[in-house]
Amino acid sequence: MRCAIAMAQEDSVEIRALTDSIRDEEMLENVTITERKRPPLMTRVVNGVSEFFMGCDTTYVTPQKYNLTAQMELSYWHDYYFLRSSVTHNTMVIQSDPSVILGGYVYYSILGYGAVWNLNDIGVRAGKTNGTSLRQTFVIHTAKFFAEYYTFNSGKGAEIRSVSGINLKGKDRTFRGLDSRCNGLNVVYMFNNRHFSWPASFGANAVQRKSCGSWSAGFQYNEQRISMDAEALPDYLQEEIDSTLLFSHVNYKDYSISIGYNYNCVLGRNVMFAFSLMPNIGYRRSNITEAQQEKHSILNNVSTDLNVRMSLFWNNTRLFNGLVFEAHTYSYRKDKFGLTNTYGTLKYVLGVNFWRKPQPR
């Protein structure tokens, strides 16, 4: 009897052990199935697009953690025009009045829009302003590439800095007869985009953690329409100036490619200095109308330009501020006339990020 009871107890223990084993296997299988369940298609598409555009090595770069960015900009603008005659070798330098610009940018993820206004134009009647009342920019900032479309005016408020063979000391040098209208498209691709961050350099929607550089390649389209009213020159200049320095209109469309180098130097926690040098070479299709009203398509030649950018930023991913310097030089030259115009700006940028993105666990 005792033997039968003992055997029954052993069978009961084995049955319970087998039941527990089957239950554990079922639970493990359910967990495995749950873990293997793929996320929704839209989630996978969004994550794939985000990784393609903003994927990076997080030991080098901290990507943007927020969806929205509001950025204020206070900047100081200057532009120069250097005219030269290949016939007489005379030159003239015109410098625009310095402009104080206020405005800002709004970013949603990688897309941004910026608008700035010239404070010097406040209270000044039309036709007498610096011509830079509004500058608009549409931008895309990603880890792989940067793209911007911009449009602005410049030049009306200017000063004659020098003219070959004429002493300007103590004389009126005011010149309101220069007007420049510019719009263009600029696209730059970063080769070392896993370790180097262009947005950290100039877009402020990422943070560079380790110093790193990258070669880059770009395409630039630039269209300018520059007009000059020689009758607006001071009377003494109209009488003495070399007529081969004067023109009525310069219109051009420029298509160029660039190869350059960019470097982000991390100076301390959240502090970085950036430098970018992008020489351009391309084809310029343009024409000039000289002061004598004779039209000559004399600027259809190879173009060489230079874009320089530098910045100093503090960025803790939520707040950022810094300084940005940009200079763009465009040169036109042919048999008898040459014109080089340079735009330079120094910006102070202050921004804040909103709407934090879901962070991966």
Q: What's the pLDDT tens digit per position in 262-271?
A: 999 999 889 9
- How long is the chain? 361
Q: Is 226 within 8 Å of 178 (Cβ atoms)?
A: yes
SS (H, E, C) the chain: CHHHHHHHHHHHHHHHHHHHHHHHHHHHHHHHHHHHCCCCHHHHHHHHHHHHHHCCCCCCEECCCEEEEEEEEEEEEEEEEEEEECCCCCEEEEEECCEEEEEEEEEECCEEEEEEEEHHHCCCCCCCCCCCCEEEEEEEECCCEEEEEEEEEECCCEEEEEECCECCCCCCCEECCEEEEEEEEEEEEECCCCCCCHHHHHHCCCEECCCEEEEEEEEEEEEEEEEECHHHCCHHHHHHCCHHHCEEEEEEEEEEEEEEEEEEEEEECCEEEEEEEEEEEEEEEEEEEECCCCEECCCCEEEEEEEEEEEEEEECCCEEEEEEEEEEEEEEECCCEEEEEEEEEEEEEEEEEEEECCCCC
User: What local confidence, expressed as pLDDT, does residue 26 receive?
Assistant: 55
Biggest alpha carbon distance in the chain? 137
Per-residue pLDDT of 334-359, as tens digits, reads 666 777 878 888 999 999 998 887 76
- Confidence band for 205, pLDDT divided at 50, 70 and 90: confident
Q: Which of 46, 48, 94 is nearest to 237 (CA)?
A: 94
Q: What is the mean pLDDT of residues 13-30?
A: 55
State the chain's mean pLDDT as an integer: 78
User: What local confidence, expressed as pLDDT, does residue 55 receive?
Assistant: 73
Per-residue pLDDT of 33-51, as tens digits, reads 445 566 677 666 666 666 7
- On the 0-12 / 13-18 / 19+ scale of CB atoms within 10 A, 29 is exposed
Per-residue pLDDT of 41-93, as tens digits, reads 766 666 666 677 777 888 898 888 888 899 999 988 888 888 887 777 788 88
Instruction: Identify which has the larger pLDDT, 176 or 115.
Output: 115
| Buried-exposed string 121-155: b where 16+ CB fall within 10 A, e elsewhere | beeeeeeebbbbbebebebbbbbbbbbbebebbbb
Per-residue pLDDT of 236-265, as tens digits, reads 887 777 777 777 777 778 888 889 999 999
Please state, in angstroms and as integers, the Cα–Cα distance from residue 196 to each residue in 12, 70, 214, 294, following that order. 67, 24, 6, 51
Q: What is the mean pLDDT of residues 133-148?
A: 85
User: What local confidence, expressed as pLDDT, does residue 335 receive?
Assistant: 61
Q: What is the mean pLDDT of residues 295-319?
A: 76
User: What local confidence, expressed as pLDDT, does residue 280 receive?
Assistant: 83
pTM of the model: 0.74
User: What local confidence, expressed as pLDDT, does residue 138 receive?
Assistant: 93
- Confidence band for 135, pLDDT divided at 50, 70 and 90: confident
| 103 token code pair | 């405005």
Is a pLDDT exceeding 90 seen at residue 323? Answer: yes
User: What local confidence, expressed as pLDDT, does residue 296 receive?
Assistant: 46
User: What local confidence, expressed as pLDDT, does residue 246 receive?
Assistant: 76
User: What local confidence, expressed as pLDDT, does residue 297 receive?
Assistant: 47
- Confidence band for 322, pLDDT divided at 50, 70 and 90: very high
**Fold of the domain built from segment(s) 59-356:** Lipocalin (2.40.128)
Per-residue pLDDT of 164-197, as tens digits, reads 878 888 888 888 887 778 888 999 999 998 999 9
